[in-house]
């Protein structure tokens, strides 16, 4: 338990064995010595579902910095990706900063937030986790940047029903041993927003297992028709999976009206943009799309083209540069 609620808790550069969850308090900076302070979860920590290593509810002005979180997944008995052993789970908090941390060997998420505002997550590393690296749910005013994430079970960075989110300058790849996870960046909406105001920019997505970026909408989210901008990113050999159907550079599954502008796609599998449902009003402009290859295993219609419109959606395509794509520039595009 952190008892000082108005100051910095300076940790030593050593390994701390964590036997019980840590309850954060408002006004606290939990500061480690970069590269030296490690929180090591005890073996067989059979905590209840949704009990994280660091917990926080309705807090203000919280910072966690410079700590390696080793969740020791190979020595745990709880299931992967079912809400157990998230490194941190902050709910209803405001003015939160997570930086300079490492999240490794987990059975849940790295940093997870719900109904939080003014959140900054930057300069962290995440790998060998059991769910998402960074996951924001029903949040507002979120800035996620300069993180290095390697997926293993699900997405690298994921947004579900959040607004005013900036995801930029991150580097995302996959484990590539058959447990590579899913999307590099996953944007998901089941609620309606007139303008969710999402910007994904200047990220480098390399050899992701599923799509580099995935745009999902269902139920009330199907009414969204603007507010997601994907610009100036690099999608390099994305879509390494042999079984994910919508793998590739950018997958659209239900979300309308995205703007995909000035990105570089080089050597992605299946397609740069693969539309399986929704997608009406999507703008695809000024992108460099080259060396696209067919899906590694599945014989999908149009696979290997630069843009594949399996849904027959109305797309606006202009000013792109296409070269050396295995099945041509576009498929099922008027």
Residues 236 and 331 placed together within one structural domain of the fold: yes
What pTM was estimated for this model as a whole?
0.96
Residue 166 covered by a domain? no
Residue 114 covered by a domain? yes
Residues 222 and 273 placed together within one structural domain of the fold: yes
Q: Strand 8-10 to strand 148-151: parallel, antiparallel, or no bridges (unpaired)?
A: unpaired
Exposure string for 184-200, b = 16+ CB within 10 A, e = fewer:
bbbbbbebebeebbbbb
For residue 92, the tally of other CB atoms under 10 A from its CB is: 14
Q: What is the pLDDT of residue 179?
A: 78
Residues 142 and 213 placed together within one structural domain of the fold: no
Q: What is the pLDDT of residue 6?
A: 58
Q: What is the pLDDT of residue 1?
A: 42
- Ramachandran angles phi, psi of 124, nearest 5°: -110, 165
Q: What is the pLDDT of residue 30?
A: 97
Inter-CA distances, 191 with 117, 154, 194, 219, 241, Å: 18, 21, 10, 7, 29
Residues 281 and 190 placed together within one structural domain of the fold: yes
Q: pLDDT tens across 241-293, in order?
A: 999 999 999 999 999 999 999 999 999 999 999 999 999 999 999 999 999 99
The full DSSP string for 234-257 is EEES----SS-TT-SSEEEEB---
Residue 201 covered by a domain? yes
Q: What is the pLDDT of residue 303?
A: 97
Residue 164 covered by a domain? no
Residue 161 covered by a domain? no
Residues 74 and 219 placed together within one structural domain of the fold: no
Residue 8 covered by a domain? yes
Last residue within a domain, chosen from 124, 146, 168: 146
Domain of 210 in residue numbering reads as: 177-334
- Ramachandran angles phi, psi of 168, nearest 5°: -150, 155
Residue 191 covered by a domain? yes
Residues 186 and 46 placed together within one structural domain of the fold: no
Last residue within a domain, chosen from 104, 131, 146: 146
For the chain, the domain total comes to 2
Torsional class of 220: left (φ above 0), alpha (ψ -120 to 50), beta (otherwise): alpha
Q: What is the pLDDT of residue 4?
A: 44
Residue 186 covered by a domain? yes
Strands across the sheet with 307-309, in order? Answer: 22-23, 54-57, 88-91, 111-114, 134-137, 157-160, 185-189, 213-217, 250-253, 273-277, 307-309, 330-331
Pair 189, 219: CB distance under 8 Å: no
Q: Which two tokens stand for residue 91?
A: 């709910």
For residue 95, the tally of other CB atoms under 10 A from its CB is: 17
What is the rounded distance in angstroms from the CA atom of residue 329 to the CA atom of residue 45? 52
Residues 223 and 124 placed together within one structural domain of the fold: no
Q: What are 189's strand-pairing partners?
A: 217
Residues 188 and 312 placed together within one structural domain of the fold: yes
Residues 127 and 235 placed together within one structural domain of the fold: no
Which DSSP category does 320 fall into? -
Q: Name the stretches of the chain with pLDDT < 70.
A: 1-6
Residues 320 and 261 placed together within one structural domain of the fold: yes
Let me know if 109 is exposed, middle or buried by CB neighbors in 10 A (0-12, 13-18, 19+): buried
Residues 13 and 142 placed together within one structural domain of the fold: yes
CATH code: domain of residue 41: 2.160.20.10
Residues 114 and 195 placed together within one structural domain of the fold: no
Last residue within a domain, chosen from 130, 146, 162: 146
């Amino acid at each position: 338990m952190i008892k000082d609620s108005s100051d910095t808790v300076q940790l030593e550069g050593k390994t701390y064995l964590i036997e019980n969850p840590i309850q954060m308090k408002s006004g606290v900076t939990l500061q480690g010595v970069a590269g030296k302070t490690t929180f090591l979860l005890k073996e067989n920590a059979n905590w209840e579902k949704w009990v994280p290593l660091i917990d926080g509810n309705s807090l203000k002005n919280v910072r966690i910095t410079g700590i390696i979180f080793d969740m020791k997944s190979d020595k745990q008995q709880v299931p992967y990706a079912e809400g157990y052993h998230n490194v941190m789970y902050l709910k209803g908090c405001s003015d939160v900063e997570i930086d300079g941390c490492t999240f490794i060997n987990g059975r849940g998420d790295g940093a997870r937030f719900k109904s939080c505002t003014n959140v900054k997550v930057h300069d962290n590393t995440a790998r060998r986790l059991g769910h998402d690296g960074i996951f924001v749910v029903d949040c507002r005013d979120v800035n996620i940047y300069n993180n290095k994430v390697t997926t293993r079970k699900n997405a690298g960075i994921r947004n579900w029903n959040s607004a005013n989110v900036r995801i930029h300058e991150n580097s995302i790849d996959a484990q590539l041993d058959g447990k590579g996870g899913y999307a590099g960046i996953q944007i998901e909406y089941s609620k309606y927003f007139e303008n969710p105001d999402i910007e994904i920019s200047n990220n480098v997505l390399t050899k992701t297992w599923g799509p580099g970026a995935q745009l999902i909408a269902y139920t009330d989210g199907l009414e969204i028709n603007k507010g997601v901008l994907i610009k100036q990113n690099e999608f390099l050999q994305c879509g390494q999976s042999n079984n994910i159907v919508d793998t590739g550079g950018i997958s659209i599954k239900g979300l309308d009206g995205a703007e995909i502008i000035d990105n570089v796609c080089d050597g992605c599998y299946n397609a740069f943009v693969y539309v399986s449902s929704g997608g009406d009003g999507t703008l695809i402009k000024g992108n460099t799309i080259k060396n696209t290859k067919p899906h590694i295993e599945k014989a999908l219609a149009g696979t290997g083209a630069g843009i594949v419109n399996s849904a027959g959606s109305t797309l606006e395509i202009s000013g792109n540069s296409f070269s050396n794509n295995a099945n041509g520039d576009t498929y099922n595009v008027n």
